[in-house]
Amino acid sequence: MATLTVKPEDEKRVKALGFLSNKGTDNFSARIITVNGVLTADQIKCIADAAERFGSGRLCLTTRLTLEVQGIPYDKIDEFIAVLAKEGLVTGGTGPKVRPVVSCKGTTCQYGLIDTYALSQKIHDRFYNGYHQVKLPHKFKIAVGGCPNNCVKPDLNDLGIIGQKIPNFDQDSCNGCRKCTVEAACPMGAAKVEDGVLNIDPKLCNNCGRCIGKCNFDAINGGTQGYKIYIGGRWGKKVARGKALSKVISSQEEALDVIEKAILLYHEKGNSGERFAQMVERCGLDEIEKELFSDDIMNRKQEILDESLHGTGGATC
Ligand code: SF4
Ligand code: SF4
Ligand code: SF4
């Protein structure tokens, strides 16, 4: 077996830059951030060239939409970073921080209800970049899904957003047809004609918007765009399914603010080493939700960021 020459402190330093040790060697894998999973042809060419020049010549996809170039010698890392920077690419995505966002292709998907790429880019800029220096109790993963089909599994992330289209149903326009086209279009069995009129069961309806425009009598002509937020999910050694906040948020700005409040709250109330899911469990969903829908935490943003509250031990709620 080859003698390893990279010192543990150097290994730690480059890990923080997104370079992970290839076991048993002095080589590293570069984790390249794709922002929202979309790369230009020039960026891919740049990564491919860099992989041939500095690494094993292979590009490996990770489960969370980053790209890895493996086999980069330790002393080539700085050069590798500089080459990628020419195409605006960066490495990273490690440590107890906001991690790279994972987005589904809702922007182009036939079921997509929101522009997931654009929203993920905003989340990346505001929270991955904006909170890069903020050390959290543990990693914080965000996923953006375009519709309730949940391809990107938003509820298995610390925080997940799902695009919504709430049907605007005008019951007065409903004739209670024997064969209801809305009922036939609903994949959830939420829309049913009962007692001569269509009813939508809010417990079953997932706001997929598939019924919109399906009624020939214009009973459902439009819908309201929204964002459903799940908090406290995780996947890994321990699994927790995220819980949905009780209201669907109608403005993107408010949804982004809720993400920021969740990160601040985690920074403030999370115990070192504690995942957000555990914190939600410990503090209670109702308590967390109250904070996420109030202005208090944003008003204290600077105070929370200035004081190194995280890691001082003990629960504060
Ligand atoms: S979650 Fe919905 S919008 Fe996103 S890829 Fe799946 S079906 Fe398409
Ligand atoms: S929603 Fe439209 S199609 Fe369905 S019963 Fe009412 S009028 Fe008929
Ligand atoms: S929004 Fe989707 S789940 Fe809700 S009633 Fe319409 S089709 Fe059914």
Say which residue, 160 or 316, is predicted with more confidence: 160
Instruction: Tell me which residue has its CA closest to atom 3 in ligand 2.
Output: 180
Which ligand ends up closest to the CA of 172? 2
pLDDT at 310 over 80: no
Which of 211, 212, 224, 248 maximizes ligand 3 atoms within 8 Å of its Cβ, making it the mutation to test the pocket? 211
pLDDT value, residue 315 = 31
Of the pLDDT bands very low, low, confident and very high (cuts 50, 70, 90), residue 316 is: very low
User: Ligand 2 center to residue 114 CA distance, Å?
Assistant: 27
pTM (2 d.p.): 0.94
- The ligand 2 atom at the shortest distance from the C-alpha of residue 175 is 7
Q: What are 155-184's pLDDT values in tens digits?
A: 999 999 999 999 999 999 999 999 999 999
Nearest to 104 by CA among 149, 52, 56, 53: 149
Ligand 1 atom nearest 105 alpha carbon? 5
How far does residue 151's CA lie from ligand 1's centre (Å)?
6
How high is the pLDDT of residue 309? 54
Question: Could you give all domains of the chain from N- to C-terminal order, each with its CATH number?
Answer: 8-85 (3.30.70.3340), 96-317 (3.30.413.10)
What mean pLDDT do residues 141-149 have?
98
Helices (H), the chain: 8-16, 41-54, 77-85, 116-123, 181-185, 252-269, 276-283, 285-292, 296-299, 301-306
Q: What is the pLDDT of residues 182-218, one digit of tens each?
A: 999 999 999 999 999 999 999 999 999 999 999 999 9
Under a CB-based contact definition with an 8 Å cutoff, are residues 194 and 178 in contact? Answer: no
For residue range 51-66, list pLDDT tens digits in order: 999 999 999 999 999 9
Main-chain phi, psi angles of 203, to 5 degrees: -75, -25
**Closest Cα to atom 7 of ligand 2:** 174
pLDDT for 317 beyond 60: no
How many angstroms separate the Cα of 87 from the Cα of each of 40, 46, 49?
9, 7, 12
